[in-house]
């Protein structure tokens, strides 16, 4: 935990204490000369110690981390004894980490016990011995006699399998099928996958590892109110940029400290309006210095993605937006001067088919 911003607190002999510490580049714990943490509440009983404290987001202290909207990797540790004159004692195995967004607005509990709900659950899915598997299952939702609004969606994952499920996508599919497609599911993108799954294009909801339940408050008045930024193992930063009339506006969402294992919707502090003609760009930053081979875009977690999922209202007739790099610009960028590709040609009146080499120069 080199270069960590640390606060040490507790209750000793009925008196609470709180001190600002940091670790240097050698992972040595030092007391900060500038004490920026403020004790608000402390309580201790025979089983628990509770400490509440506050701190400015930006303290202008080189030993304190600036708190932003990005992911913060929080470390925790404790010892059964209070610190002595020599400082805090070593925690041994009493430690852990958790990724959080400290500035993500608190989630409102909008689901009452009287609200109806239904579960969409896979049945007995085998986990193959390979790095990445996409599993598709068709479900039929209950029939409703009148319009309903979805106010909360949360994952249902079997206990002990939390580390196996990376993300879940809920799609809207065509209704022109019978119940025969509602079987045990299939591996996605497999040649034998039923054609019915190809009609599932509109993403209704997205969840990724580390995320929690999402509740949507009733809209008060296209308005974006939450964004999920998505990349894979090499992802280090993701940003959703917003342009209007050629001018860049405030980013809709960003995470400059992206954590592959902690992906959840960011609730926007204020709803952002997207107008006709606006442009959105999802920009990703990667680090592949620890890899010896090429990293390609693709479905595996060792491949890469760069996606944003937006929650907004009112609904518009749009399934997805995507961009594809221009192949000629890419070839020019990496210094390719000419490309050779085979072309089959049949001479009129002849029975033979010729294989030719076509040479194309890159401008």
Catalytic residues: 134, 230
d(CA 341, CA 356) in angstroms, rounded, equals: 8
Handedness of CA 140, 144, 149, 154 (dihedral sign): negative
Cα–Cα distance for residue pair 209/259, rounded to 1 Å: 10
Q: Encoding tokens for residue 326?
A: 């221009």
Q: Is the separation of the CB atoms in 78 and 43 below 8 Å?
A: no
Q: CB of 311 within 8 A of CB of 335?
A: no
Q: What is the distance between the alpha carbons of residues 60 and 62, in angstroms, rounded to a whole number?
A: 6
SS3 for 98? strand
Measure the CA angle with vertex 34, ends 76 and 6; round to 5°: 5
Name the burial class of residue 270, with classes exposed (0-12), middle (13-18) and buried (19+) by CB atoms within 10 angstroms of its CB. exposed
**CA-to-CA distance for 259 and 280, rounded, in angstroms?**
22
Q: Terminus-to-terminus CA distance in the chain, angstroms?
A: 50
Structure tokens at 268: 């926007």
Q: What is the CA radius of gyration of the chain?
A: 27
Does residue 179 sit in helix, strand or coil? helix
Half-sphere exposure of 301 (CA within 13 A, CB side): 14
How many CB atoms sit inside 10 A of residue 222's CB?
A: 15
């Amino acid at each position: 935990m080199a270069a960590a911003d640390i606060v040490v607190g507790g209750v000793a002999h009925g008196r609470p204490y709180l001190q600002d510490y940091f670790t240097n580049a050698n992972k040595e714990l030092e007391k900060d000369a500038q004490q920026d943490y403020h004790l608000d509440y402390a309580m201790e009983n025979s089983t628990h110690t509770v400490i509440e404290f506050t701190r400015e987001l930006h303290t202008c202290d080189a030993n304190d981390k600036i708190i932003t909207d990005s992911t913060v990797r929080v470390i925790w540790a404790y010892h059964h004894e209070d610190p002595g004159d020599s400082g805090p004692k070593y925690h041994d195995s009493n430690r852990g980490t958790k990724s959080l967004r400290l500035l993500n607005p608190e989630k409102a509990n909008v689901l009452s016990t009287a609200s109806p709900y239904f579960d969409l659950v896979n049945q007995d899915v085998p986990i193959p011995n390979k790095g990445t598997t996409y599993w598709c299952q068709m479900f039929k939702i209950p029939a409703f006699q009148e319009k309903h609004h979805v106010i909360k969606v949360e994952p249902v994952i079997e206990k002990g399998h939390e580390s196996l499920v990376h993300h879940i996508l809920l799609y809207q599919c065509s209704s022109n099928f019978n119940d025969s497609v509602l079987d045990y599911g299939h591996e996605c993108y497999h040649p034998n996958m039923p054609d019915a799954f190809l009609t599932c294009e509109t993403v209704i909801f997205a969840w990724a590892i580390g995320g929690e339940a999402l509740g949507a408050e009733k809209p008060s008045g296209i308005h974006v109110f939450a964004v999920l930024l998505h990349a894979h193992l090499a992802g280090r930063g993701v940003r959703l940029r917003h342009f209007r009339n050629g001018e860049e506006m405030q980013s809709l969402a960003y995470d400059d400290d992206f954590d592959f294992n902690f992906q959840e919707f960011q609730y926007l502090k204020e709803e952002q309006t997207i107008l006709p003609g606006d442009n959105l760009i999802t920009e990703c930053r990667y680090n592949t210095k620890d890899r010896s081979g090429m990293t390609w875009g693709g479905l595996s977690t060792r491949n890469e993605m760069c996606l944003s999922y937006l929650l907004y209202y009112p609904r518009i007739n749009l399934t997805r937006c995507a961009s594809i790099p221009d192949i000629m610009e890419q070839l020019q960028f990496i210094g390719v001067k000419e490309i050779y590709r085979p072309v089959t040609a049949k001479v009129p009146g002849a029975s033979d088919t010729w294989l030719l080499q076509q040479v194309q120069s890159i401008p």
